[in-house]
Amino acid sequence: MHHTIEVEDLYFTYPDGREALRGVNLTVPPGVKMTLVGPNGAGKSTLMLHLNGILRGEGRVRVAGMEMNEENLPRIRAAVGMVFQNPDDQLFSLTVFDDVAFGPLHMGLPEADVLLRVETALRAVGMSEYRNRVSHHLSMGEKKRIAIATVLSMHPEILVLDEPSAGLDPRARRMLINLLKGLDMTMLISSHDMPLVAELAEQTAIMDNGQVVACGPTAQLLADHALLERHGLAP
């Protein structure tokens, strides 16, 4: 079985000369929920944007068994569901239904299939009764769940989430953690929310200064207080 995400020796420098990735190596096995932790500026978001080809650096990236290249890009983008930190970057239609239906419609699926995908995705995030609501009137927690539904409706193999609990109140955060726990998928989740990391992820990778400095079972890494403190993380 191929690993769902394989990154080897990945380098990336922004046009302003800032080196964001300096030889990143990371493997996410199939079916594993992995969190990516580290201080601000460690390169977490930059790395995530390489997983569906938004950014392209030097090195090797394989996703869902496919090399990252122009030819595979459309299939890789279908395989990787990206959920950005700010759901307003993801929700742009008038209603919740239109947002969740957008991807399947653009795949050219028949109307019955689109409806089924929308229903299934909204049910998965506990938002079935919101289908006719106006997206920009929703709370932050509701928007996050709809943003995840817009990605689930595309039937991706892998979910990549950037700071999913940021900006959520305790109740919305709890609902989000339960939602992600209940999804049986490979996930890579960038987060500063260490209790979420502890509860959700089987494995964790620590990034600092553009590299993955440690990777392993979450409980083991979180128990190593010296390691966490060395990389600006509160135990």
Instruction: Give kind and range of the element (H or E) at residue 61.
Output: strand 58-63
What residue segments make up the domains of the chain, in order of their start?
5-230
**Burial state string for 78-116 with b = 16 or more CB within 10 A and e = fewer than 16:** bbbbbbbbebeebbeeeebbbbbbbbbeeeebeeeebee
Task: Give the integer Cα–Cα distance in Å for 183 and 189.
Answer: 13
Residue 155 has pLDDT above 90, yes or no: yes
Task: Give the integer Cα–Cα distance in Å for 216 and 203.
Answer: 5
Residue 2 has pLDDT above 90, yes or no: no
DSSP secondary structure code for residue 173 in this structure: H
**pTM recorded for the entire structure:** 0.93
Q: Work out the mean pLDDT of the chain and round it to a whole number.
A: 95
Task: Give the integer Cα–Cα distance in Å for 185 and 33.
Answer: 7
DSSP secondary structure code for residue 80 in this structure: E
Task: Give the integer Cα–Cα distance in Å for 130 and 133.
Answer: 5
Q: Which residues contact 234 (CB under 8 A, 6 or more apart)?
A: 194, 228
Domain at 5-230, CATH homologous superfamily: P-loop containing nucleotide triphosphate hydrolases (3.40.50.300)
Whether 50 and 61 have beta carbons less than 8 Å apart is answered as yes
Q: What is the pLDDT of residues 71-109, one digit of tens each?
A: 999 999 999 999 999 999 999 999 999 999 999 999 999
Q: What is the pLDDT of residues 40-80, one digit of tens each?
A: 999 999 999 999 999 999 999 999 999 999 999 999 999 99
Q: What is the pLDDT of residues 106-146, one digit of tens each?
A: 999 999 999 999 999 999 999 999 999 998 889 999 999 99
Token match 């978001």: residue? 45
